[in-house]
Amino acid sequence: MTHPAPDDTAPELSTPLEQGGSPPRDLVGIGVGPANLSLAALAQPLSQLDTAFYERRPAFDWHPGLLIDGTTLQVPFLADLVTLVDPASRWTFLNYLRARDRLFPFYLAERFHIHRAEYDAYCRWVSENLPGLHFRHQVDTIRWNARRALFEVEHTRLAPDGTPRSRHRTPARHIALGIGTEPHVPAPLEPLAGDPHAPVIHSADYLHHRERLLKARHLTLIGTGQSGAEVFLDLLRHRPPGREDIHWLGRTPAFAPMEYSKLGLEHFTPDYTRYFHGLAEPVRDRLVAGQWQLHKGIDADTITAIHDELYRRTLDGGWPAAVLTPGVHVHTAHHAPDGPPRGRIRLGLEHVEQGTRTTLETDAVVLATGYRQRPLDHLLTGLAPHIRRDHAGRPQVDDHYRLRLDAAITGDVYVQNAELHTHGVGAPDLGLVAWRSATILNTLTGKEIHRLPDRTAFTTFGLR
């Protein structure tokens, strides 16, 4: 059964800003992406916890601009919101299939990696049936009330058209930040991003602009990770042979496959996360920069599909009009001399290894340039003096996913997918979402609510 959106129906234990005194929540989550949705799902059976989760969007959606037909998750379906911690939970992917009478078709399909659109639908099903989620609620700031020894979460309830409806304050003993990431636009392309005359589109919005992009005479795609590969393949399949007119460029030295060996995947286990967290800050920074192929490469099936499509276009002789060049840095971007009416863009390119430069004129640019962690400072302005930071000014995060705060703050602020610099490449990985949520709940309650194994990998990381 699907329930109405929680923000329209659920009673809210918060008060208007001009009032006060409402009972505190044990945990307030900010953002409802997969990370906090997992936390809410694992917390739901715990009657001793009073929780609320706020999200400014009207409903759950997961990378809607990249749900290209046929694309799959890069992790097995067991990496859902709860299974790797609590396979008996009612919120597992398999129970979602059962609720939709799709368990037998899935069984016969023998799929280990599910479609992205199916993962999105599964998470939406959880969000529509899980109590305690409040959509159309924009959190504005978090403060510490020393007198009450509580956090105060100030948030604005939004009307369906996105305009402010009312402002509220919710007291909380603990906070879980799960505001996720945002599309990254390289500095040279920022002035052109969103220009109506010369489309520069981030891959996060690809499907929303796909028809317009396909009409462009010449396309340039920047970014050689999985999203870039999926966009390139989709564009290629919809451009006529001999008139593809696509340049695919990226800074990495190769169109490299993602590391997917069994022992390589052990970098995405709690064992490696613990090891990484114990390293010195400079070592962690070097490792993150050097481990891009663990999480920014292209899966082998997508590489194969791209090569097959390109090869098919050579069967009648000649080569497809597609240029694939790694090792390229875009250092300038501006309107071509013929000006905005024609919408041409001139890119200044530099080949990193050759040290050569050239220009490329194109009609549209798709930026598959990844995502960056959303800055937390705007939410945590009231806590800023109490947050301990590393040498680079980043918040310190302990091994239980808590911000390190000074002793004046007796509550905890947990972070989800904002700890790459302290916990390593597994931070954004869906396979560790349930583990992190369980760790947070065990720490928050002071009990072993969820039993977590001491060992999760065959590899012994470091000399113990």
Q: For the chain, what is the mean pLDDT?
A: 93
The rounded distance, in Å, linking the Cα atoms of 441 and 430 is 18
Instruction: Note down the domain range covering 34.
Output: 6-180+374-445
- List, in order, residues 6 or more apart from 407 with CB less than 8 Å away: none
Evaluate whether 425 touches 295 at the Cβ level (below 8 Å): yes
pLDDT at residue number 4 = 43
Average pLDDT over residues 45-73: 96
Q: Would you state the structure tokens that stand for residue 381, as one six-digit string?
A: 């302005």
Cα–chain center distance at 100: 26
**378 & 400 share domain:** yes
Q: Is the pLDDT score of 6 beyond 90?
A: no
pLDDT of 21: 60
Residues 339 and 405 in one domain: no
Domain end, chosen from 371, 403, 431, is at 371
Give the per-residue SS3 of 211-262. HHHHHCCCEEEECCCHHHHHHHHHHHHCCCCCCCCEEEECCCCCCCECCCCC
CATH number at residue 390: 3.50.50.60
Same domain (yes/no): 310, 236: yes
Does 166 lie in the same domain as 239?
no
Confidence of residue 13 (pLDDT cuts 50, 70, 90): low
270 part of a folded domain? no
Residues 208 and 60 in one domain: no
Domain identity same for 45 and 84: yes
- Asked whether the beta carbons of 451 and 435 are under 8 A apart, the reply is no
Q: Using one digit for the tens of pLDDT, what is the confidence trace for 285-296?
A: 999 999 988 988
Proportion of the chain above pLDDT 90, given as a percent: 88
**Residues above pLDDT 70, as percent of the chain:** 94
Q: Which of 371, 386, 407 is the last residue of a domain?
A: 371
In a domain, 189, yes or no: yes
192, 156: one domain: no
Instruction: Write down the residue that tokens 């067991």 correspond to.
Output: 78
Domain count within the chain:
2
**SS3 readout for 135-204:** ECEEEEEEEEECCCCEEEEEEEEECCCCCEEEEEEEEEEEEEECCCEEECCCHHHHHHCCCCCCCEEEHH
Is residue 276, in this structure, part of any structural domain at all?
Answer: no
Same domain, 99 and 248: no
What is the value of pTM for the model shown? Answer: 0.93
Q: Are residues 342 and 206 in the same domain?
A: yes
Shared domain for 163 and 220, answered yes or no, is: no
Task: Find tokens 């919101």 and name the residue.
Answer: 81
| Distance (Å, whole) CA 84 – CA 452 | 10
User: Domain check: are 10 and 113 in the same one?
Assistant: yes
Residue 268 lies in a domain: no
